């Protein structure tokens, strides 16, 4: 009774390849437990898009990309087509959007999500840009076509912040939330406090595949701000954009700043905060000295976390340790399974 789900994988970078690996290792379990068989019928990277109605072999596609191969070299390559153009007629039941974050145009993700939703194809996003640039439009399009749109992978990797906010805080008035949403900068800050150089720490983050393609997104605070914008729209009930967030990165910090904080019993973190104020929330991202023994002060290295204070649900604290892209890919899988079963 397994149902084949023809799937478009837009973006076959670190997250996309991890998704393929999950299909290789967990395919049988997913079929047995949920009755679903994900079949990649459409794949795209920066070289273009390819369609194979019978499905690409996940392991072969992953190895092709890991070996430096491009989608344009695959059978089924459609010269000159964008992912969005291919999605208009490709045999696809599900879009997985994992292409790089592009805050200027949102492309190619934004058009791909538009194309899928317009055709009634459910969309699961790991790419934040379409939501950051066009949250309201994406949701209106999903509603108009009565098609699900899920994106728990966009905030804190596999930590289900969005799911908790949307499903588990029903009717809550959230007074305050604060979080560490970017593990690359969190790792760099920790390493710098321990005496390592900024460049060396950044290089390790990039080698692990966790840094954004454009590392300035991580260290200048924009990745953190992206996540705060998605949170604000998803469960704080405000239609915020990046322009509504005060953003400061960590590039101005020195090793001396970090050591001075430590000597003082505090630790400097790149903190996102939403504080309830009359008429809405004050949204900020920036380095902040917080107590070493506080929950977020203990969110170290490859961890990301959030604390949420509300009137009905006490104070909740959630964090995750992850240092590979696999959990983010798993978050796409859970979204896909939850919206299909």
Report if residue 266 touches its own copies, rule: CB under 8 A: no
Stretch that binds its own copies, among 123-131, 225-233, 238-246, 317-325 (CB under 8 A): 317-325
Say whether residue 163 binds its own copies (CB under 8 A): yes
Cα 18 off chain centre by:
14
User: Can residue 219 be called a binding residue for its own copies (CB under 8 A)?
Assistant: no
Nearer to its own copies (CB atom), residue 54 or residue 143: 143
- Closest approach, Cβ 318 to its own copies, in A, equals 5
Query: Whose structure tokens read 């090793």?
Result: 255
Q: Does 146 bind its own copies (CB under 8 A)?
A: no
Residue 291 · residue 297 · CB < 8 Å:
yes
Q: Which of 75, 146, 170, 279 binds its own copies (CB under 8 A)?
A: 170
- What angle (nearest 5°) sits at the alpha carbon of residue 266, between those of residues 264 and 271? 145
Q: Which of residues 7-26 bind its own copies (CB under 8 A)?
A: 22, 26
Q: Which residues face 152 on adjacent strands?
A: none
State which residue, 135 or 235, has the beta carbon closest to its own copies: 235
Mark whether 227 is an active-site residue. yes
Side-chain-facing half-sphere of 196: CA atoms under 13 Å: 15
What counts of helices (H) and strands (E) characterise the chain?
12, 12
**According to the binding rule CB under 8 A, does residue 176 interact with its own copies?**
no
Min. distance of Cβ 207 from its own copies in angstroms? Answer: 18
Q: Which residues, other chains included, contact 136 with Cβ-Cβ below 8 Å and sequence gap of 6+?
A: 233, 239
Query: Is residue 108 within 8 Å of 77, Cβ to Cβ?
Result: no
Measured in degrees and rounded to the nearest 5, phi and psi for residue 129 equal -55, -45
How many residues sit close enough to its own copies to count as binding (CB under 8 A)?
Answer: 43
Residue 190 touching its own copies (CB under 8 A): no
Tell me whether residue 139 or residue 248 sits nearer to its own copies (CB atom). 139
- Which string of DSSP letters, residue by residue, matches 47-108? TEEEE-TT---HHHHHHHHHTT--GGGSTTB-TT--HHHHHTTS--SEEEE-PPP-TTT-TT
Query: Please, which residue, 252 or 314, has the CB nearer to its own copies?
Result: 314
Q: Which residue of 89, 168, 200, 275 would you call a contact of its own copies, by CB under 8 A?
A: 168
Does 298 bind its own copies (CB under 8 A)? Our answer is yes
Q: What gap in Å lies between CA 180 and CA 320, rounded to an integer?
A: 10
For the bound state, the minimum distance from the C-beta of residue 226 to its own copies, rounded and expressed in Å, comes to 21
Spot the catalytic one: 128, 227, 269, 288: 227
- The residue ranges that bind its own copies (CB under 8 A) are 22, 26, 29-30, 33-34, 152, 157-160, 163-164, 167-172, 293, 295, 298, 305, 312-323, 326-327, 330-331, 333-334, 337-338
**Active site residue ranges:** 227
């Amino acid at each position: 009774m397994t149902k084949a789900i023809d799937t478009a994988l837009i973006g076959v970078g670190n997250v996309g390849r991890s998704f393929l690996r999950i299909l290789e290792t967990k395919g049988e379990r997913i079929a047995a437990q949920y009755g679903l068989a994900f079949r990649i019928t459409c794949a795209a990277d920066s070289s273009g898009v390819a369609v194979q109605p019978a499905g690409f072999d996940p392991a072969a596609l992953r190895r092709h990309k890991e070996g430096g191969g491009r989608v344009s070299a695959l059978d089924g390559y459609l010269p000159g087509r964008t992912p969005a153009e291919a999605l208009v007629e490709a045999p696809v039941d599900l879009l997985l959007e994992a292409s790089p974050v592009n805050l200027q145009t949102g492309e190619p993700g934004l058009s791909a999500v538009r194309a899928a939703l317009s055709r009634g194809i459910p969309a699961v996003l790991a790419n934040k840009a379409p939501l950051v640039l066009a949250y309201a439009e994406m949701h209106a399009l999903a509603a108009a076509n009565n098609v699900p749109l899920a994106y728990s992978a966009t905030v804190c990797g596999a930590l289900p912040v969005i799911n908790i906010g949307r499903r588990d805080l029903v009717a809550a008035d959230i007074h305050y939330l604060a979080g560490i949403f970017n593990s690359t900068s969190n790792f760099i800050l920790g390493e710098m406090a321990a005496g390592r150089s900024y460049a060396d720490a950044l290089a390790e983050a990039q080698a692990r595949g966790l840094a954004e393609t454009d590392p300035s997104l991580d260290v200048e605070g924009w990745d953190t701000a992206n996540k705060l914008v998605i949170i604000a729209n998803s469960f704080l009930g405000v239609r915020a954009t990046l322009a509504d967030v005060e953003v400061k990165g960590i590039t101005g910090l020195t090793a001396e700043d970090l050591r001075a904080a430590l000597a003082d019993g505090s630790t400097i973190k790149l903190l996102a905060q939403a504080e309830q104020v009359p008429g809405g929330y004050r949204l900020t991202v920036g380095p902040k000295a917080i107590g070493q023994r506080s929950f977020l002060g203990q969110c170290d290295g490859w961890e990301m976390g959030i604390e949420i204070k509300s009137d009905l649900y006490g104070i909740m604290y959630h964090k995750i340790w992850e240092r590979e892209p696999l959990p983010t890919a798993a978050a796409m899988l859970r979204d896909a399974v939850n919206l299909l079963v």
